[in-house]
Amino acid sequence: MQMDEVLSSVAETIKNFAVIYLVDITEVLDFNTMYELYDPSTIMFFRNKHIMIDLGTGNNNKINWALKDKQGFVDIVETVYRGARKGRGLVIAPKDYSAKYRY
C-alpha cells in the first residue's frame, strides 16, 4: 500500500523520463524465475534490457522493499535514466540503502 501511494504520487513528476507499469506476477509468469520475483512489491528498471542498480544492499536486480520517501524514489529514477542514456548496464544509486534496511 505504501509503495502504491509513492508510485501513484510520483507518476506525474517522472512522466517525461519514465513510465510505471504495474504487473501481477501471478498472472504474468514469464520473469518470475529469471528475476526471482516472489515479493509482493518489487521495482525493476528496463530500457530494451534489464538495468541493474547498485543500492548497497547486495541485490542489484531490483528494489524489493517499500520506499516511503517520494523524493528518494524520484532521485533513483533520475539516476537510472541518466545511466540508461549512457548505455550503462549497472547504475550506482545516489544514496546507500544498506544501513537503512535490515534483512
- Mean pLDDT for the stretch of residues 7-11: 91
Identify the weakest region by mean pLDDT among 38-42, 67-71, 76-80: 38-42
Strand order in the sheet with 90-92: 45-46, 50-54, 90-92
- 54 vs 57: CA distance, rounded Å: 7
- Mean pLDDT for the stretch of residues 82-93: 82
Yes or no: say if 16 and 76 are a contact pair by the CB < 8 Å rule.
Answer: no
Q: What is the CATH number of domain 2-92?
A: 3.40.30.10
Direct distance between the N- and C-terminal alpha carbons of the chain, in angstroms, rounded to an integer: 20
pLDDT at residue 11 in the model: 92
- 39 vs 63: CA distance, rounded Å: 10
The model's pTM: 0.80
